[in-house]
Copies of this chain bind each other. A is one copy, B any other.
Amino acid sequence: MDERTALRLLAADLPAAGDDAAVVDGLVITTDMLHESTDFPTGTTRYTAGWRSVGASLSDVAAMGAPATCAVAVYAAPELDEGELDDFIAGARDVCAEVGASYVGGDLDTHEEFTTATTAIGKTDDPVLRSGAEPGDLLCVTGELGRSAAAVRLFERGDSDRANDLFRFTPRVAAGLVLREYASAMMDSSDGLVRSVHQLAEASDCGFDLDFDALPVHDAVADVATDDDDFHALATQFGEDFELVCTVPEADFAAARDELDVELTVVGRVTDSGEVLADGDPVADRGYTHGGD
């Protein structure tokens, strides 16, 4: 059973789960675990790890269109080194400050592999779900895709400074607060754009026509890609960019774009076909799946 199958079971069983975050009693709550072998390539600083771990949870709050209140983290490592712990906390605190949330501490554990578990809390009585996309709506994405994919390649090449910079993303909390006024459906791109679009199609019972030529791709992707296919996979399948993927009624797009502090790009349109197409061809549901598939 891979992670997506297991998550589907979990969602079927728990009505509050199954979106980017659970919503209960006006609270948005989401939790994530990251660990060295799969999430922190050699060269990732503890500061970046703190930022990125907590940021991943804040991104889920953003995807619900909720303000972020606070976050906690568990820091587990083979040895509790004071300098490394301080750096991790600084990163956690700085990413919280970036989105107006408080980092309020957490737990420590000794663990053979460096592992983090983070939880972020937000508040909303009116979350934006994955399930509201309507045929005709525009498919949009914030910011640029491929940052994390490019970073992983740069870590492999030993260019850790640039890779760490790319690995620290701004959780789109502010953008989510604007988009909740306009978006019919929203999620974050943590599993890659293609997989996110498939998930929106499933939750909203709709299809999508994607325009791959319109994708906003970070400059670093061109620097690391080996060829066009690789470029394309890095931008659309690797994921972990933590941008917002949303559907917006065409009449609202200009207002949403103008109100945002980050770029909002149209990358396709919602259809009633039930299929995910790009330039007329079906797009397989490929992306980043923890646990293998």
Contact = CB atoms under 8 A, between A and B. Distances in A.
Interface of A: 1-3, 5-7, 9-11, 13-14, 16-18, 22, 24-25, 27, 29-33, 35, 38, 69-70, 72-74, 76, 79-82, 85-86, 89, 93, 102-113, 115, 117, 119, 121, 290-292
A107 to B, nearest CB: 5
B109 A31 contact: no
A74 B104 CA distance: 19
A213 to B, nearest CB: 34
Contact of A108 (B10, B18, B110, B112): B10
B89 A6 contact: no
Contacts of A35: 109, 111
A235 B113 CA distance: 32
Nearest to A74: B33
B291 A80 contact: yes
Contacts of A13: 86, 89
A118 to B, nearest CB: 8
Contacts of A24: 69-70, 102, 104
Contacts of A1: 79-82, 85
B110 A74 contact: no
A35 B292 CA distance: 22
A50 to B, nearest CB: 12
Nearest to A102: B24
Nearest to A1: B80
A187 to B, nearest CB: 15
A70 B29 contact: yes
B111 A115 contact: yes
A16 B119 contact: no
